Amino acid sequence: MQVNQLPPVGRIQGAHLLPGQSHETSGVRVQYTDQKGTWQELSMPLLDAMYLLNALKAIQKDTDFQMPEE
């Protein structure tokens, strides 16, 4: 199986909800600039975005990573 890689993230620029009729049809769009400053965008179903959020929270908990105060 070949896996296509997205350009590495330089900075997340934003994310927003793509509303649908239900959780199954809703999505999330994420925009970021890559390490060269080129804008990139990806979309995913809301349920996959929530799975990603939970995975990131688990990583945060397992590594004791603390978000810096803004």
User: pLDDT digits over 15-25, tens only?
Assistant: 999 999 988 89
Residue 3 belongs to some domain of the structure: no
Confidence of residue 70 (pLDDT cuts 50, 70, 90): low
Would you place residue 67 in the very low, low, confident or very high pLDDT band (cuts 50, 70, 90)? Answer: confident
Give domain status of residue 24, yes or no.
yes
* CA 20 distance to own-chain centroid: 18
Mean pLDDT score, 47-55: 95
Strand order in the sheet with 27-34: 9-18, 27-34, 39-45
Percent over 90 (pLDDT), the chain: 81
Q: Is the pLDDT of residue 62 over 90?
A: yes
Identify the pLDDT of residue 54.
Answer: 95
Enclosing domain of residue 54: 9-61
Instruction: Tell me how many domains the chain contains.
Output: 1
